[in-house]
Amino acid sequence: MAQITFTDHDGGERTVEAREGQTVMEVAIANDVPGIEAECGGGCSCATCHVYVDEAWSEVVGGPTPMEEDMLDFAFDVRPSSRLSCQIKITSALDGLKVTTPQRQG
Amino acid sequence: MTDIIRTDAVIVGAGPVGLFAVFQLGMVDVEAHVVDILDRPGGQCVELYPEKPIYDIPGLPEVTGQGLADNLLAQIKPFAPRFHFNQMVSALERTSDDRFLLTTDAGTRFDAKVVVIAAGGGSFLPRRAPIPGVEAYEGRSVFYAVRAKDAFRAKHLVIIGGGDSALDWTLNLAPIAESVTLIHRRDVFRAAPDTVNKMRALVDKGVVDLFIGQATGLIGENGMLKAVKAKAEDGSLHEIAADAMLPFFGLAAQLGPIADWGLNLSENLIPVDVKSYQTTTPGVFAIGDVNAYPGKLKLILSGFHEAALMAQAAARRVHPERRMVFQHSTSSSTLQKKLAGA
């Protein structure tokens, strides 16, 4: 199990339990976390599960793959910390991970 | 205006469920034309996840989106479906003799006895630019497609995007526009390498301005653009003068004109009865992800089941004089005759 904290762009925080092997997007959808749409259901085919990874976690989480970068072209307010949450797989190393959802998805 | 195509059935959508509907209709001697806005069959499976494995198709432990579409095309080949790609059914009208007149945005017209809507999440249409307030400019000075190049003659034009559409229009419109600024969030482009090279050559010659960054807002009034606000990679804020903007942010499924066909939509889905998957309009059926009924599961296999039941009801309408005899494919004379002829 790992704890993931989602902060929305207004500062509202939610910490939820995640299982290893799930993606951050799946954890958000399973817990009705607002601000994540995941239109394509996790196929890295849209950009509606966009999150900003907390600076302290950027190294552990890593950067986007080239395919993910292509999809991020369609997102709103992309920053160096931007990832698509469907492409972040939960491992024990991510226990405590903090991400922020953008003002809008697409 | 082209001649009207008279047919038994028009299937709206060439995704897996639309394709399998050709098979089920063919088994009961109902010929079908298939319309899709994309340029090839397969729908979402091919557009969104051609290489991704699907694990829940009965009898196929693992198949990719493209593989499933290819298999379905092979399966329906004996029924010789006629495809009409790159167009969207824009209007559906019931005629006085209880048939349906369908018109596409490309001007193709059909006169059909039954209509099968297998439109999934809708048509793949250009995604709205993620820029606050863009709605107010759409159709007046912000366009998601180029209908006539001349509309951009002598204009200060901003094009946003890094794919083929954005770069192709940059190359095409640079000679006639007063100025072209291409905005893209990073100095990496998804477009074909040759197109990227041509774009860079125009930038080097000073014909095209390349701005690496993101559009953050629009300045203008009454829908007429004056400038695009943009943030560069270093965080600095800029205003780029513009009379027109072409944003290319990919495609997203949107229900589109189906919403106007009087089918009593509920939450963008078409309610159907579960005996035949017929909508509230007799003769119009809806199968796959686009329909709604109690217990609905948005699975491809559910759409296949719905196609089979729909075909029975559609055949009763197309061939009211016939007694329906249920057939298995292993012994179906219809299928065997068609296979022999194929």
- DSSP code string of B167-200: HHHHHHHTTTSSEEEEEESSS---S-HHHHHHHH
> Residue B137 annotated as binding?
no
Over residues B122-128, mean pLDDT: 87
| B148 and B83 fall within a common domain | no
Nearest to B214 among A45, A78, A106 (CB): A78
| B159 and B186 fall within a common domain | yes
**Could you tell me which residue, A101 or B124, shows the higher pLDDT?**
A101
Query: For position B267, what pLDDT does the model report?
Result: 84
Q: Which architecture characterizes domain A2-100 according to CATH?
A: Roll (3.10)
Q: Is the Cβ pair B163, A40 closer than 8 Å? A: no
User: For residue B12, is pLDDT > 70?
Assistant: yes
Last residue of a domain, one of B181, B214, B249: B249
| B9 and B115 fall within a common domain | yes
In whole angstroms, what is the distance from residue B139 CA to residue B208 CA? Answer: 24
Last residue of a domain, one of B249, B264, B288: B249
Domains of chain A by residue range: 2-100
User: For residue B339, is pLDDT > 70?
Assistant: yes
| B86 and B140 fall within a common domain | no
Query: For position B50, what pLDDT does the model report?
Result: 81
Query: For position B342, what pLDDT does the model report?
Result: 57
| B14 and B74 fall within a common domain | yes
Of A88-102, B122-136, B229-243, the poorest mean pLDDT is in B122-136
Nearest to B49 among A43, A77, A104 (CB): A43
| Residue-number span of the structural domain to which B108 is assigned | 4-124+252-341
Is the C-alpha dihedral spanning B71, B76, B78, B82 positive or negative? negative
B250 interfaces chain A, CB cutoff of 8 Å = yes
**Could you tell me which residue, B325 or A79, shows the higher pLDDT?**
A79
Query: For position B315, what pLDDT does the model report?
Result: 97
In whole angstroms, what is the distance from residue B191 CA to residue B258 CA? Answer: 32
| Token pair of B206 as six digits | 């000073």
Average pLDDT, chain A: 93
Over residues B189-202, mean pLDDT: 96
Of A64-73, B130-139, B214-223, B317-326, the poorest mean pLDDT is in B317-326
Quick one: pLDDT band at residue B80, thresholds 50, 70, 90? very high
Residue B170's Cβ-count burial label (10 Å; 0-12, 13-18, 19+) is buried
B130 interfaces chain A, CB cutoff of 8 Å = yes
Nearest to A39 among B161, B249, B252 (CB): B252
Domains identified in chain B, total number = 2
Q: Report the CATH number at residue B201.
A: 3.50.50.60
- ipTM value: 0.89
Query: For position B45, what pLDDT does the model report?
Result: 87
B6 interfaces chain A, CB cutoff of 8 Å = no
| B120 and B173 fall within a common domain | no
**Could you tell me which residue, B52 or B94, shows the higher pLDDT?**
B94
Query: For position A40, what pLDDT does the model report?
Result: 79
| B260 and B120 fall within a common domain | yes
Average pLDDT, chain B: 94
Chain A positions in Cβ-Cβ contact with residue B251 (cut-off 8 Å)? none
> Residue B36 annotated as binding?
yes
In whole angstroms, what is the distance from residue B69 CA to residue B50 CA? Answer: 9
**Could you tell me which residue, B289 or B50, shows the higher pLDDT?**
B289
User: For residue A59, is pLDDT > 90?
Assistant: yes
Of B185-189, B219-223, B239-243, B252-256, the poorest mean pLDDT is in B252-256
Mutate to test the interface with B, among A39, A44, A73 (most CBs of B within 10 A): A73
